[in-house]
Amino acid sequence: MTKLYLAIPCYNEEEVLRDSAGKLLNKYSTMMSEGKISADSRIVFIDDGSKDRTWEIISELHTENPVFQGIKLSRNRGHQNALLCGLMTLKDKADAVISIDADLQDDINTFDEMVAKYEDGCDVVYGVRSKRETDTFFKRFTAEGFYKILNHMGAKVIFNHADFRLMSKRALNAFSLYKETNIFLRGMVPMIGFKSDIVTYERSERLAGESKYPLKKMLALAWEGITSLSIQPIRMITWLGGIVFGISLIMIIYSLVSFFCGWTVSGWSSLLCSIWAIGGLQLLAIGVIGEYIGKIYMETKRRPRFIVDKVLDDNEQ
């Protein structure tokens, strides 16, 4: 039977943690009784430097039932690094690891199908939303635009897939070879290239607490994904520069023809607009290039992506 671990990043999740733990325990108990996963399977919460009682609740859950385990980071490192910590810590303990958010908006009833596809030979199984009818128009428009922009800019991702996925031990070991500091998991996992499949589900409403990905963070995540996985923005600057240079050549020819033909007209407005346009383009180009140089700077430092403070596992009864 499959030894299945769950990796659940948590940041200030005290409002939903116990409710989510109860639902996960019921689901695990059912899968164990049906012989779908082994009795050694575990549910692991990764506390990403929470400021509330999240770690205390994780410790209490572990004391009540050893199926619950915990990893506490030394400080807040962000959702992606917390999830990476869980995946890398569990890769040698489990046959497969499913990552899911603590609010359980992703459907835990798809665990059975994910495990079945893993046993059928898939190393990665993506959880993909089937529809977004529960979202507002603005949320649906921005979310779907998020995936389209990422793919258009060269960061290839699975449409309507976030970080709800199953990864086999083989896939996790392969993923451990990716050493970059600037990470965007939903764009990096497809790079592994092993056999994969999807399961579709309907995302439910959050029971309590606040979303950890408001619009501001979604935009920041999109920019992180684009600049971490693609050089398309720099290429776009090259294309734009070529277009502007071509237009400038045409304008030079037009100006010379106008001068020799006596068509000269006062061009203060057009000159001023041209100066501002070129200046803005140069600042934009410098800014984008600077973003990449900044990432190179961070990569060369080789700082740890996370530091583990405490671990609650089978050796911490």
Whether pLDDT at 108 is above 90: yes
Higher pLDDT, 73 or 215: 73
- Give the number of other Cβ atoms within 10 Å of residue 306's Cβ: 23
Same domain assignment for residues 96 and 34:
yes
For residue range 139-166, list pLDDT tens digits in order. 666 666 767 777 776 667 788 888 999 9
**Segment of 141-145, 194-198, 289-293, 313-317 carrying the highest mean pLDDT:** 194-198
Higher pLDDT, 291 or 47: 47
In a domain, 275, yes or no: yes
Which residue intervals of the chain are DSSP H helices?
17-33, 54-64, 79-90, 111-119, 137-152, 169-175, 185-188, 215-229, 232-261, 268-301
209 backbone φψ class: left, alpha, beta (φ>0; ψ -120 to 50): left
Whether pLDDT at 30 is above 80: yes
Same domain assignment for residues 259 and 270:
yes
Same domain assignment for residues 137 and 156:
yes
Residue 256: its pLDDT value, please? 65
Residue 28's pLDDT band, with cuts at 50, 70 and 90, is: very high
Residue 184: its pLDDT value, please? 83
Distances (CA, A) of 242 to 109, 235, 236: 53, 11, 10
Question: What's the distance, CA 199 to chain centroid?
Answer: 18
Residue 306 · residue 85 · CB < 8 Å: yes
Residue 10 · residue 104 · CB < 8 Å: no
Whether pLDDT at 70 is above 80: yes
Residue 117 · residue 80 · CB < 8 Å: no
- What CATH number does the domain containing 33 carry? 3.90.550.10
Residue 167 · residue 90 · CB < 8 Å: no
In a domain, 273, yes or no: yes
Q: Which domain holds residue 248?
A: 232-301
In a domain, 223, yes or no: no
In a domain, 169, yes or no: yes
Higher pLDDT, 94 or 221: 94
Same domain assignment for residues 137 and 148:
yes
Mean pLDDT of 211-240: 69
In a domain, 149, yes or no: yes
CA–CA separation, 181 and 293 (whole Å): 14
For residue range 118-144, list pLDDT tens digits in order. 999 999 999 998 876 666 666 666 666
Whether pLDDT at 270 is above 70: no
Cβ neighbourhood burial of 128 (10 Å; 0-12, 13-18, 19+): middle
CA–CA separation, 117 and 113 (whole Å): 6
Residue 180: its pLDDT value, please? 84
Same domain assignment for residues 176 and 271:
no
Same domain assignment for residues 96 and 72:
yes
Residue 21's pLDDT band, with cuts at 50, 70 and 90, is: very high
In a domain, 227, yes or no: no
Residue type, 260: F
Residue 9: its pLDDT value, please? 96
Query: How many domains, the chain?
Result: 2
In a domain, 317, yes or no: no
Same domain assignment for residues 173 and 254:
no
Distances (CA, A) of 312 to 14, 62, 63, 111, 202: 18, 7, 9, 24, 32
Residue 35: its pLDDT value, please? 93
Residue 304: its pLDDT value, please? 81
Same domain assignment for residues 92 and 27:
yes
In a domain, 224, yes or no: no
Average pLDDT across the chain, whole number: 83
Nearby residues of 281 by Cβ (< 8 Å), 6 or more positions away? 240, 241, 244
Residue 114's pLDDT band, with cuts at 50, 70 and 90, is: very high
Same domain assignment for residues 121 and 12:
yes
Mean pLDDT of 214-231: 69
Same domain assignment for residues 287 and 196:
no
Same domain assignment for residues 262 and 186:
no
Residue 106 · residue 201 · CB < 8 Å: yes
Cβ neighbourhood burial of 122 (10 Å; 0-12, 13-18, 19+): buried
Same domain assignment for residues 133 and 78:
yes
pTM of the model: 0.75
